[in-house]
Structure 1
Amino acid sequence: MIQKTYLKTKDQCKVKFTISIENADRVEILGLNNDWNTPIKMSKKKGGVFECVQTLPRHTQHEFKYLVNGTDWRNDPDADGEAPNEFGGTNTLLVL
């Protein structure tokens, strides 16, 4: 799930990422702000739910993926869409 909260006083948006993955030890987000080299670690909650809040610029578009346990790439089914990537698959698309 992706929850967007637009800030009234700044040109930014707080984005809360939530994904439920059973038997996952760690989940990271890659690709936000076009940064595929620096993973953003998500916090593990009860029941296999992972959460993370990021502040991103308004009027931007981001491609990203979740990396589960360092090996399994996943898209977010609740995102704004998907964009083709160079590996023949797709990335999650976030539009702010």
Structure 2
Amino acid sequence: MTFANAGSLGTAPGRRDELVAHLTRRSDALAAIGCLAYEVGVNHDHPDTVFVLELWTSEQAHRASLELPEVQESIATAMPLLSGEMGGFHFDVAGSPLRD
């Protein structure tokens, strides 16, 4: 069953675009471990927030991704850009009207 993880990342003032550029760098390692989609977005009503929507083959694949050296390095690089405000939720996808 597909696993979805949706979250918001508060950024230090003025650092949102820098975080977006970092999070949208190509990562073949994510696809190889089971990431189906990793979408990064912004909302102009929230100028210091980045939104992320992830779809994974399973919750286990998502957890395993956090152990990858590339992901750990990416998190370490992103940390100075963050304000510490984070939100989100996750769920198992039950279905979609876009596919059988």
Question: Is this a same-fold pair by TM over 0.5?
Answer: no
Larger RCO of the pair (alpha carbons < 8 Å, separation 6+):
2
Q: TM-score range by the shorter chain?
A: 0.3 to 0.5
Tell me the TM-score normalized by structure 2. 0.42
Structure number with higher helix proportion: 2
Structure number with higher strand proportion: 1
Tell me the TM-score normalized by structure 1. 0.43
Structure label with greater radius of gyration: 2
